[in-house]
Amino acid sequence: MKKKIVIFGSGVHAKVIFHSIINNDRFKFLGFVDHKDKNKTIIKFKGVSYKIIDLLKNLDVIKKFKNLSGIIGVGSNFERSNLYKLVQKKKIKINWETIIFKGTNISNNVNIGEGSVIMANSTLNNNVTIESHVIINTGSIIEHDNFFGKFSSTGPGVTTGGNVEVGDLSHLGIGSTILNGKKIGSNTVIGGGSLINKNCKSYSVYFGVPAKIRGRRKYNKKYL
């Protein structure tokens, strides 16, 4: 039987995930859940309108489903973790799904946590650990023995060498390259197109080729 699933969030990232889910025979997609605009159509696809079916402040519609699956379709790491906390607070049991897009190349002994999304044309090599609610964006190459902490993410086309560690809530910007063995702290943002050839501290912004520290950041500062 197909699993009933909702997407939390209804912005650009949610719409990308929608197209993976709607083409996946494992799922029956029910709709989006967001802060506002109940009943608003988010996507029309093959003659069907997919809407916001519930609001985060209520969750009274989704409460009625037993064994409901969910995925958080929010690109910002901080906002994704906030949304997760909000749903937890409501004490509604959601089975957080791992969404693997078509065209990914994932080695046998890769561990991927609940709620994580691995997007099209990404490669995860031997002994990679991806913790929960992580986004590995389109066309990223994650080499052997990498570790990605909770709510971390890559932009499209990121490349990491072997044994890279990325802390919770950190983001590797679009097209960045992380040399093998480098460690990125938590809550840090690596700017698009950067080359990381040294370890990076937590709560910091780095960019450039090679990257330099450009400042400190608060955990909720916008970066996308």
Q: Which stretch binds ligand COA (CB under 6 A): 17-25, 100-108, 114-122, 200-208?
A: 200-208
The CB-of-28 to ligand COA minimum distance in angstroms stands at 28
Q: Which of residues 156-185 bind ligand COA (CB under 6 A)?
A: 156, 173-174
Helix, strand, coil fractions of the chain, as percent rounded to 5? 10, 35, 55
Q: What is the C-alpha separation between 105 and 122, in angstroms, rounded?
A: 6
Would you count residue 9 as binding ligand COA (CB under 6 A)? no
Comparing every residue's Cβ against ligand COA, the nearest one is 191
Nearer to ligand COA, 81 or 137 (CB): 137
Sorted by sequence, the CB contacts under 8 Å of residue 14 that are 6+ apart come out as 7, 8, 32, 42, 73, 74
Rounded to an integer, what distance in angstroms lies between the CA atom of residue 102 and that of residue 120? 6
Nearest residue (CB) to ligand COA, 81 versus 194: 194
Q: Does residue number 61 form part of the binding site for ligand COA (CB under 6 A)? A: no
What is the CB neighbour count within 10 angstroms for residue 48? 11
Among 191, 200, 203, 204, which residue interacts with ligand COA (rule: CB under 6 A)?
Answer: 191
Going by their DSSP bridges, the two strands 27-34 and 41-45 should be labelled as unpaired
Per the CB < 8 A criterion, the answer to whether 153 and 138 are in contact is no
Q: Tell me which residues in 130-149 interact with ligand COA (CB under 6 A).
A: 137
Q: How far is the CB of 191 from ligand COA (least distance, A)?
A: 3
Residues that bind ligand COA (CB under 6 A): 137, 155-156, 173-174, 189, 191-194, 205, 207-208, 223-224
